[in-house]
Amino acid sequence: GAVVSQHPSRVICKSGTSVKIECRSLDFQATTMFWYRQFPKQSLMLMATSNEGSKATYEQGVEKDKFLINHASLTLSTLTVTSAHPEDSSFYICSAPDRGLDYGYTFGSGTRLTVV
């Protein structure tokens, strides 16, 4: 089936720095990418929806200037956590609609971000 490759799988950064997470659709064109955040023992919370060539749509309560999303091509969407703080430590995961699943969803492998 379709594959979304997500990198890095783990990252540790210092407070105040920025971290970029990439999601690439390997064998299909992902015109839409959903970005989720998952805190320990909690559910996947949708942060934003990115669409190729246009501005991302953010969910209520998600800071646009802190979580920068770029979807510059049909195969790459990125999430940049700017000025990271320890409370941003979480599991971030992307997802794209997958025609191979009859328009279900395929997920990246996730990124464990730790801010120290």
Partner 1 sequence: GENVEQHPSTLSVQEGDSAVIKCTYSDSASNYFPWYKQELGKRPQLIIDIRSNVGEKKDQRIAVTLNKTAKHFSLHITETQPEDSAVYFCAASKSPGGYNKLIFGAGTRLAVHP
Could you list the residues that contact partner 1 (CB under 8 A)? 31-32, 34, 36, 42-46, 49, 60, 91, 93, 95, 97-99, 101, 103-105, 107-110, 112
Q: Shortest gap between Cβ of 104 and partner 1 (angstroms)?
A: 6
Q: Which is closer to partner 1, CB of 16 or CB of 104?
A: 104
Q: Which is closer to partner 1, CB of 72 or CB of 105?
A: 105
3-state secondary structure (DSSP) of residue 12: strand
Q: Shortest gap between Cβ of 83 and partner 1 (angstroms)?
A: 26
Q: What's the gap between Cα 46 and its chain centre? A: 10
